Chains A and B, each alone.
Chain A
Amino acid sequence: MENFDLLMHGFGIAITPMHLMLMVGGVLMGLIVGVLPGLGAPNGVSLLIPLTFALDPTSAIILLSSIYWGALFGGSTTSILFNIPGEPSSVATTFDGYPMARSGQSTRALTLAFMSAGFGALLGVIVITLLAGWASNFALKFGAPEYFAVYFLAFAAFIGMGSAAPMKTLVSLAAGLLLASVGMDSVTGSIRLTFGFEDLLGGISFLVVVIGLFGIGELLSTVQEGLRFRGVASKIDLRDVFRTIAELPRYWATYLRSGAIGIWMGITPGGPTAASFMSYGIARSSSRKGAPFGTGRPEGIVAPETADHSAGSCAMLPMLALGVPSSATAAVMMGGLMIWGLTPGPMLFATQPDFVWGLIASMYVSNLIGVVLVLATVPMFAALLRIPFTIIGPMIVAICFVGAYTVSNATFDLWLVLVFGLVGYLFSRLDYPLAPLVLAMVLGHKAENAFHQSMVLSDGSLGIFFSNPLVSGIMAVGIALLVLPKLVSMGSRLRRRVPVE
């Protein structure tokens, strides 16, 4: 098998003392960058780009991609411990990760997240290894209507089976869409909803909103509940890590499903954030009985983390083979590629086999290094929850504001954090779900663009969303996800009054 030989050749390039050192250093650096909210992987990678001019391209990409993996791992840590997503793609991890940590099982939650992340990454790299050529051809089939169908599917998967009151979900969703449309519209070039504030010209940063909604909002709730974290200081034991690893095979179905979603979204490219939301939504709808999602279900951590990482690793494929980055970090790395004199495109695999296969081989190795490193940090991070609230509370406030400032070095964003902190607090007091708002902010603008582009292409006919088997198929699945759960629950209510989740 040709790809296998190439991969072995790649391992020969990737496994040298120098490259192993770069991987360990990169993963560690990424961990730090990922743990701090706001200072995300794109910032971390772009800071290092000028340094890589002294390295040869293969070493450079190994360093940069290792930072990326480290940041993806680190992003889930604060999501689980403090309900503050370190990276946009780890928002969905807060839904069940944080409740689980609060119930005293922080070690278990962290281990679940890291192992799922590692597994997802592995799935992603295997797909890249086997399907490099085929997958990039598949991605070429995606035009504007197909993109819209994918975003529609993500919305449908997440919203269709929501447990909150439908009207409240709708309000939250609409608020998110409204926030997503602030700034310059790239299809018409007009400026919308800035009310003359120059600071709103670039739109409202999703990360800033999330830091406010989740971080500050959660703190306000904690204050109201008596100034302490409800996190029970559980015994921290490295054996808990192994016990959790032993329970993993139970979730094989969630793993495979989430991995598949992540791979698809990484290649097409919908991006890791969309993948994690979609995967969480589908896991919720297809779960059998048990504690409801949102209260610390293990599948609620496994699903978004697996999808996030498989999408993250698969995002390298469209970047290398098509020159289209499907995540912000991939965009920065692609910039690096061009500076190093490599042209991303279908021929990169043929003209630069050392570079491409060295990178792919390094993805196996550095993710392995990543899993080992983060597992070793689990007890340390879990111990953070034992610190009294009077000490950790103010620290979280500081981290939230520093994090929001680093997103784009704008003082205006600090006000936004405050405002959205209040909004988050009100939402949780009044039982409005936050997730639809966040999802709408991430995908709203992209979905709107794709819709607008489709309308330009079709001269305003909606028929374009059913114009070929690919786009019709995705739309049909989306509509089914939106409608079926309601039909099923109505049907079962008719048959017997069984309580529905």
Chain B
Amino acid sequence: MTKTKAGLLAATALMLAAPAWAEWAPSRPVEFVVASGAGGGTDNFARTIQAVLTRDGIVESPIVVLNKGGGSGAEAFLYARQNEGDPHKLIFGTNNVYLLPHVAKLAYTVEDLQPVAALALDEFLVWVKADSPYQTVMDLVNAAKDAPGTIPFGGSQSKDTDETLVALIEQTTGADFKYVPFNGGGEVGVQLAGGHVAANVNNPNENAGQWQAGAIRPLCVFAPQRMAESEPVSGDMGWHDIPTCKEQGLEIESYQMPRTVWLPAGTEPEVLAYYQDALKKVAESQDWKDYLAKTSQSASFLTGEELARFIETSEANAVKVFEAEGWTAQ
């Protein structure tokens, strides 16, 4: 998918919606409901958008950020269901919005929310301790095949993106790791630097500090192509110098986590168009580009059809993993 194409599509959608859009603007303070605790990746995502929207006057009503991170974010999505049709509430999440109902018995379905836009893709990398014997991801996989169930693999939360990726690696290669869930990416990063786990699959900005210090190093990235050029981070290595996992022989083409924005179901189409337009302006701002660069995320603005297709593929892939692992909730 190219950016121009995405832009064109969004622009077309916008032109179609333009007359209707003019009719709606928030009349009350807008609530940004964040599906994570304060300080997490999703929280930063929402607060950066809040800052741009407010400072540039794109949304004129005051914006209030609410953290509802309980139950891996389910609290926020249930809140959306309780506020069906409320145009003054935006929900900020990742792929957890549509994946959680598959693994836990919850009182909401993805139909209770309406996707507005995805604004960024966060990458996943395999990291090991700097002095670890593994030079490529296949070294690690083969070690786990030789001694099944003994190599501790750290990750954040249970049956969330990290454990899903580890399960995907196991299913693809037949290796067997010992997955240990911690509370967040930062904690997993330190557990790796301290040598308490052998590897993790953190996002770039969760581990950048430890990499910079030379305590840990990346093996590969789960993306179709290498990450964007950057300043050297550790020694003379930058993000672009990290090989893709496919290059190293691990047959997982891509595994990325979208940062998504949702409305409660049942709002008018012009409400959706209003927020799509506002978020598009955010995605085009310099502040947003800075945020993406600083947190090493990839730019990707998806709305409408494209977003629906992305969610469908991403959901189908994950559900395949869940079924193979026997995680699916009845």
A residues sitting closer than 8 Å to B (CB atoms) are 42, 46, 49-50, 53-54, 139-144, 183-191, 198, 201-203, 322-325, 328, 331-335, 338-339, 341, 343-348, 351, 408-409, 449, 453, 456-457
Contacts and interface: CB of A to CB of B under 8 A. Distances in A.
Contacts of A408: 66-68
B260 interface: no
12 contacts: A50-B54, A140-B193, A184-B71, A187-B181, A201-B75, A331-B39, A332-B39, A333-B39, A335-B39, A338-B295, A345-B210, A351-B212
Contacts of B209: 322-323, 343-348
B68 A202 contact: yes
A42 B104 CA distance: 29
A335 B194 contact: no
B319 interface: no
A493 to B, nearest CB: 44
Interface in B90-130: 103-107
A480 B157 CA distance: 34
Given A331-B39, A345-B208, A201 B65 contact: no
A143 B209 CA distance: 19
B136 interface: no
A83 to B, nearest CB: 28
A143 B191 contact: yes
A343 B205 contact: yes
A140 B103 contact: no
Please name the 9 residue pairs, one residue from A and one from B, whose CB atoms are nearest each other, closest first: A202-B70, A345-B209, A143-B196, A189-B158, A331-B39, A346-B213, A335-B39, A140-B194, A201-B71
A53 B55 contact: yes
B157 A186 contact: yes
Contact of B183 (A50, A338, A449): A449
Interface residues of B, number: 60
A188 B75 CA distance: 18
B226 interface: no
A332 B158 contact: no
Given A339-B44, A345-B213, 4 more contacts: A142-B194, A202-B70, A335-B47, A338-B205
Contact of A323 (B70, B105, B186): B186
A66 B279 CA distance: 33
Nearest to A454: B180
B147 interface: no
A348 B213 CA distance: 9
B213 A339 contact: no
Contact of B190 (A184, A324, A338): A324
A202 B69 contact: yes
Nearest to A445: B183
Contact of A325 (B39, B51, B158, B205): B39
B104 A324 contact: no
Contacts of A143: 191, 194, 196
Interface string B185-205: 011011101101000000001
B159 interface: yes
A334 B186 contact: yes
Contacts of A344: 186, 209
B74 interface: yes
B37 A331 contact: yes
Nearest to A189: B158
Contacts of A184: 70-72, 74, 104
B277 interface: no
Contact of A189 (B66, B67, B159, B182): B159
Contacts of B40: 331, 335
Contacts of B51: 50, 53
B130 to A, nearest CB: 12
Contacts of A345: 208-210, 212-213
A328 B65 CA distance: 16
A452 to B, nearest CB: 9
B44 A335 contact: yes
Contacts of B210: 322-323, 345-346
A50 B71 contact: no
A339 B183 CA distance: 21
A233 to B, nearest CB: 41
B186 A324 contact: yes
Given A184-B71, A325-B186, A345-B212, A191 B157 contact: no
Interface string B33-44: 000011110011
